[in-house]
Amino acid sequence: MFFKILLALILIPLIELALLHEMSLHAGWPLTIILVIITGVIGSWLAKQQGRSVWYEIHRQMASGKVPSAEIVDGVLILLAGAFLITPGILTDCLGLSLLLPPFRAFVRARLRHWFATRAKTTFQMHTFGSAPSQPRDFANQFDGGPSVRVVDPDKTEGT
């Protein structure tokens, strides 16, 4: 997992630079930079609006006594979209803007739900800490004279 993240952190900026360079050859550097800035500003505003909408929906679901699981996933995806939109580049802007579209978010949410469901079914691990459990013991015979037992008959009262 670490190497996949490291590879993404290396490859994505290289792809972004190549795309920005290619776009600047066709449209010029000033237009390319302006386009990246405009998509970042508009995307940030859209992320704020979508995030506010999801926040209200989470509160509405909780007030009605429901667990807002889909809305929480939407909130995380909108946060991720905002992070993509803040990152300068064409690829990240396209991905960020697409995550702000509710139909695409629903698609990603369904894929995430499927991924987590299959992962939960296939990866069950049990971890123990400390030494192995000892054999069961008979604690009653550890005390001198064995256990002290007093038998009480509920029909008889004391002193009669």
Start-to-end CA span in the chain (Å): 78
Which token pair is 118? 């299959």
Collapsed DSSP state (helix, strand, coil) of residue 152 = coil
Residues in CB range of 58: below 8 A, 6 or more apart:
68, 71, 72, 75
Highest mean pLDDT among 53-57, 105-109, 155-159: 105-109
Domain ranges of the chain: 37-114
Q: What is the pTM of this model?
A: 0.64
Q: What is the pLDDT of residues 13-37, one digit of tens each?
A: 899 999 999 999 999 999 998 988 8
The span from the CA of 111 to the CA of 85, in Å, is 22
The span from the CA of 75 to the CA of 55, in Å, is 7
Collapsed DSSP state (helix, strand, coil) of residue 36 = helix
Q: What is the pLDDT of residues 108-149, one digit of tens each?
A: 999 988 888 887 776 556 666 666 555 655 555 555 566 667
Give the pLDDT score at 88. Answer: 84
The percentage of the chain sitting over the pLDDT mark of 70, rounded to a whole number, equals 79
